[in-house]
Structure 1
Amino acid sequence: MAGDDETSSSTPNTQSEAAKVRLAQVSNHIAPAPNTPKKRRRRKDAGDELPADYSDILGQISALRKIAATPDPNNRGYVRQKAAGKLWVRERVEQLLDSGSFQEVGSVSGTVTWRKVGKVGEEPVDYVPSNNVQGFGKLRGRKIVFTADDFSIRAGHADGALMEKTIYMEKLAIALKLPIVKLVDGSSGGGSVTTIRSTGFSYVPPLPSFTQVVQQLNMGIPNLGTVVGPAIGLGAARIVACHFSVMAADIGSLFNAGPSVVKNATFEEGLSFTDLGGPAMHCTNGTIDNLAPDEAGCFEQLRTVLSYLPDCGTKLPPIIPCTDPLDRADESLRTIIPRNKNRMYNPRKIVTSIVDASSFFEIGALWGTTAIVGLARLGGHPVGIVSLNCEVNAGALDALGSQKINRMLKFLDVFNIPLVQFVDVPGYAIGTVAERTATMRHGVALATTYYSTTMPIFSVITRRVYGVAGGVMLDCRDPRQRVAWPSGVWGSLPLEGGIEVGHSFELKEIERKEGIEAREKRYNELDEEYRRLMNPVRTANHFGVEEIIDPAVTRGVCAEWTRHVYESLLPQRVMERVAGKIKPSFA
């Protein structure tokens, strides 16, 4: 008990002393004890202090952007670019896009040499931008994604950032469902032997971006490209894969490999870029769709084509106001088809007379010239145009003409654009040249496309419809939607040659027994009889043609059909595209 008393009496004193010690410790933290010498704080270097507003980082970005946006007149690539008569890449972007709409993506990508400032700071002292300018912009108010090669830097060959940037923009076009425009001048990131030296190894060539390209093409995301310099290797492939392409006549060329490589492979020496793959080569063989006089002309064609197209295949084509009267009649169409079936006429005049004024944009005018294709409007609604050209090979459909129409049909199908076609076809081309160029092979491929696409088609029979070619063009939809002009003639074969085949034995016997004059007399009798029987009204009597109309009122008929298609058929088609029921294929 005595021990307990002793313990109880000592506890409060111990606790009180502990509290005093703790209080003293806290006081020393708040204010140093008297006579305690003050410690001198080390003064920080200016370079050690990083601004709270991150102005150092923003300054670096601003400096790099300024370098990228300022041309270097001492750079040999820039000097070469201007000496060739070409715009610098950023001049192109400025001319192509609506003013103030450029939003760059990857604006500071490239190779930077840094200088240390202080202990943790740094600033750029040298900068080589990535040789491709990419981003967002607008064409006549339409938002787009674009890529533009900079040939002045490594001639557009691959650098550390270019391939990643390009793939990213291709993916963005898909994700955002925006049209993509490609200005190609160089290899668009294609390989160079110097890449082996810089990386220390060679590589099996990849093609990662084409997965996205094919997806875009079939989704109906407009791919529009222009050749504004030499398009080489991968650059050439990117352009040719587009829905629409155009080449600048003064500076454009396209080839798989340049003159130096060609010289060693095929021993063709002294070739210029133009000799190897200029406009005379590729704007006449279908590799490139259209030709423009210069870069400004190319940019204007890109704007024009885009104005007919939706942003993607799950939208309707854009409709604009129309001031051209839908019931406008053109009496000159009554006489444009000559009564003499062997005489020619201007088929483009028919097209431009019927569609909205100044709305016809022809595609591929310099190749596959037996066919005429393009885009136009009827009542402000975009339509595709197909016509045969009787001024070339009498309008007989040859291999290139079939390829041209084939491509156009797929183009219209992925963009939900209805087709209006003007039919005057004597059949597929015949003769040794036609056989040598695989006319029937390409003709059957065209037939397959006519029957596998699903966009609405309206046909105007202006004159001849003969053989398989005629049947393919007019019988590919059920029910057929078509009208005929009073100038229409049709059958399995034209009379010229058809009478010879059908009455061969009879005519030979007359010639053997009665002589050549009797044979010619009988031939003329048969010709007159067949021409009388081929009166188009007789066909209409048997409902072989649904309606024969006055050519003067063709515009009104086509415009009414187009209006109905846009109001009733295309909205349903778009919903079926969204649901995956319709899956057009361009690629």
Structure 2
Amino acid sequence: MAGDDQPSAAAKDASQPSPSTAKDRLAQVSNHVSPNTPKRRRRKGADSDLPADYSDILGQIATLRKMAATPDPNNRGYVRQKQAGKLWVRERVEQLLDPGSFQEVGSVSGTVKWKQLGPVKEEPEEYVPSNNVQGFGKLRGRKIVFTADDFSIRAGHADGALMEKTIYMEKLAIALQIPIVKLVDGSSGGGSVTTIRTNGFSYVPPLPSFTQVVQQLNMGIPNLGAVLGPAIGLGAARVVACHFSVMAADIGSLFNAGPNVVKNATFEEGLSFTDLGGPSMHCTNGTIDNLAPDEAGCFEQMRTVLSYLPDCGTKLPPIIECADPIERASESLRSIVPRARNRMYDPRKIITEVVDSGSFFEIGSLWGTTAIVGLARFGGHPVGIVSLNCEVNAGALDALGSQKVTRMLKFLDVFNIPLVQFVDVPGYAIGTVAERTATMRHGITLATTYYSTTMPIFSVITRRVYGVAGGIMLDCRDPRMRVAWPSGMWGSLPLEGGIEVGHSFELKEIERNEGKEKREARYKELEDEYRRLMNPVRTANAFGIEEIIDPKDTRRVCCEWVAHVYESLLPSRIMERVAGKIKPTFT
């Protein structure tokens, strides 16, 4: 049919959308792209008033730091500090450290009273800093961490301290493997009865920081402590535990508990800090190593000791340039030891003549005086020094002398410092005083320390080597590294007394049968014979002593040995220590 060839009107209308339908679809797409919803207005809150650059927070920190760094002349603690002739804690830090090197850690720790300025705004109104200033600094260019007590705030007691700060610094020294310096004035965070009232309960005393302290000591991380006021309880323990400690003579004291506690416990009344634990007490019994005239002297001694030490036990000690010629001969050493056997001489003159000029630093000069120990350099290389002191008790090692040398050996071992010792030892001290003070007990502790440490040892025999003490000092390394001077004398016993023991029956019989004069004549014959046989050259003939040198060449011989140790032995020793094959202990 004719109608079948033409599309219907309805189909044509469906294939072509109407203008209204297209507009509807366009509007629908537009609404999806950018919905036509009303914008919500942000509600204005308290935070909108705060500066975008956080200057308010930075301002609070600056204010607190300024308050901490500004002493209050009306504060009774500060007044007391100054009346005692002591530096304020931040003055100490400034004097101790290299200029501009102080970086404080925990600079705003303490108790703050805040003044509210708005819903969220506030500012510091009052501030009591924690009574310990701590952080980083430098000593002669060497980076350190340090802790310094502020006695003007609660006398350094725990109720004015934040123990977490001190523990953190102890941990930092281990993690960063750098030295730590401790300026002690007060209890250094120790206990106070007022803490019980504050907490509302008593407590079993904790000692959380000593785990790190022991670890530092054995790792060879230098611990240097100074007593700059009364060091009490925990404060005393912290400084005594150090590798090296020094006390200021004008203001220093140290004790387990103060005079008021002592009065009630032991009924000793009227004691001052100095009476109880001043320099005359603790710098002469070995509790504190050295004495300095004042605070500045303490700081200088700590700088000096640190200059000989590595940052930790897995590093070499620092080597410096040396202007003193290695080949320098010392003719005076030929005559320094008298030919008369009973005459004494100054052993310190031998030390200072042989080591690099001006490099000898003595440790513990006021206690254990039968022995001399310290640090020095040969050709710029740090070494430890041990010598017996013939001017005190004829050089016989007593209990305190043995303790002093024992401590020095452990010190050198943890710091990888070789030992040069000048040996003139008649043996251990004898007599009732020696027996009462347990000389043999401490002498055997010294012996085990000689044999258990591993740092290299070189010995110069200047005169006598007798008995167990002599054998310990010279036979503790295999092979032995030693030389002797022409003045050397050695044996199981000194002739004085030794002849009496060895020929007791013969001499008694002569005296009984022929009289005292004949006995004395026979004694003289025996003495002359033994002295002839004790010629050191005869010992060298039998290779009982490896070499006898001209005393004037001692410096050259020692310098050559020390240089070889630093070049060949210490690097391999440090590798073994890193690998855990060598584990020196100071504690």
1:83 maps onto 2:83 in alignment: yes
Instruction: Provide, for residues 535-567 of structure 1, a one-character-per-residue CA deviation record: whole Å limited to 9, x for no partner.
Output: 110000000000001111100000110001000
Cα deviation, 1:211-257, whole Å, max 9, x if unaligned, reads: 00000000000000000000000000000100000000000000000
C-alpha distance in structure 1 between counterparts of 2:489 and 2:286, whole Å: 31
Aligned equivalents of 2:20, 2:360: Cα separation in 1: 107
User: C-alpha distance in 2, partners of 1:563/1:9?
Assistant: 104
Percent identical residues? 83
Report the equivalent of 1:355: 355
Question: Aligned residue for 1:381?
Answer: 381
Name the counterpart of 2:343.
Answer: 343
Q: Per-residue deviation at 1:518?
A: 1.0
- 1:268-292 Cα distance to aligned partner (Å, 9 max, x none): 0000000000000000000000000
Counterpart of 2:452 in structure 1 is 452
Alignment check: 8 A CA contact 1:133 1:150 kept:
yes
Aligned with 2:184: secondary structure? strand
Q: Deviations along 1:352-410, whole A, 9 cap, x unmatched? A: 00000000000000000000000000000000000000000000000000000000000
Q: Which amino acid aligns with 1:272?
A: S
Alpha-carbon contact 1:48-1:118 (below 8 Å) kept: no
Task: Describe the SS at the equivalent of 2:311.
Answer: coil
| Aligned-CA RMSD value | 2.4
Deviation, structure 1 residue 115: 1.4
Unaligned 5+ segments in structure 1 are: 33-38
Provide the secondary structure at the position in 2 that maps to 1:343.
coil
Indicate yes or no: 2:132 matched with 1:132. Answer: yes
Q: Are 1:570 and 2:570 counterparts?
A: yes
Dislocated runs of 4+, deviation >4 Å: 3-32, 41-45
Q: CA deviation at 1:201?
A: 1.2
Q: How many equivalent residue pairs?
A: 579
Q: Is the 8 Å Cα contact of residues 159 and 194 (structure 2) preserved in structure 1?
A: no
SS at match of 1:251: coil
From the superposition, tell whether residues 10 and 553 of structure 1 become closer, same or farther in structure 2 (CA, over 3 Å): closer
Q: Does 1:412 align with 2:412?
A: yes
Give the distance between the partners of 2:335 and 2:308, measured in 1 at CA. 31
Deviation of 1:159 after TM superposition, in Å, equals 3.8
CA spacing shift, 1:31–1:135, aligned 2, 3 Å: closer
Tell me which residue corresponds to 2:474. 474
Aligned to 2:4: none
User: Structure 1 length as normaliser, TM-score?
Assistant: 0.95
What SS does the aligned partner of 1:203 have? Answer: coil
Do the aligned partners of 2:364 and 2:373 also contact (CA within 8 Å) in 1? yes
Partner SS for 1:99: coil
- Aligned to 1:111, what secondary structure does the other structure show? strand
Distance change (3 Å), C-alpha of 1:31 and 1:148: closer
Q: Which residue of 2 aligns with 1:178?
A: 178
Q: Deviations over 1:181-218 (max 9, x none)?
A: 00000111001011111111111111110000000000
Shift, 1:121, TM fit: 1.4
Post-superposition CA distance 1:506-559 (Å, at most 9, x none): 011111111111111111111111111111100000000000011111000001
**Pair 1:59 & 2:59 matched:** yes
> Cα gap change, 1:49/1:340 in structure 2, threshold over 3 Å: closer, same or farther?
same
User: What's the TM-score once normalised by structure 2's chain length?
Assistant: 0.95
Q: Tell me the CA shift for residue 162 of structure 1.
A: 2.1
Deviations 1:415-458 (A, max 9, x none): 00000000000000000000000000000000000000000000
Query: Equivalent residue for 2:6?
Result: none
Aligned to 1:506: 506
Partner of 2:282: 282
Q: In structure 2, what is the equivalent of residue 555 of structure 1? A: 555
Q: Secondary structure at the match of 2:158?
A: coil
Shift of residue 120, structure 1, vs aligned partner = 1.4
Distance 2:577 2:28 in 1: 82
Residues 153 and 160 in structure 2, CA contact (< 8 A), matched pair in contact too: no
1:141-540 equivalent positions in 2, closer than 5 A: 141-159=141-159, 162-540=162-540
CA distance in 2, matches of 1:570, 1:258: 46
Q: Match of 1:36? A: none
The equivalences for 1:35-46 within 5 A come to: none
Q: Is the 8 A contact 1:48 1:119 kept in 2?
A: no
How far 1:22 moved relative to its partner?
A: 8.9
Displacement of 1:158 after TM fit?
A: 1.3
Q: State the secondary structure of the residue aligned to 2:86.
A: coil
Aligned AA (2:529):
E
CA distance in 1, matches of 2:269, 2:208: 34
Q: Whole-Å Cα distance in 1 between the matches of residues 513 and 35 of structure 2?
A: 142
Query: For residues 515 and 123 of structure 2, what CA distance do their matches in structure 1 show?
Result: 101
Deviates more, 1:448-457 or 1:107-116: 107-116
SS at match of 1:119: coil
- The residue identity in structure 2 corresponding to 1:380 is G
Cα distance change of structure 1 residues 21 and 322 upon mapping to structure 2, 3 Å threshold: closer
| Structure 2 runs not aligned, ≥5 long | 1-9
Offset at 1:160?
A: 6.8
Shift of 1:116: 1.5
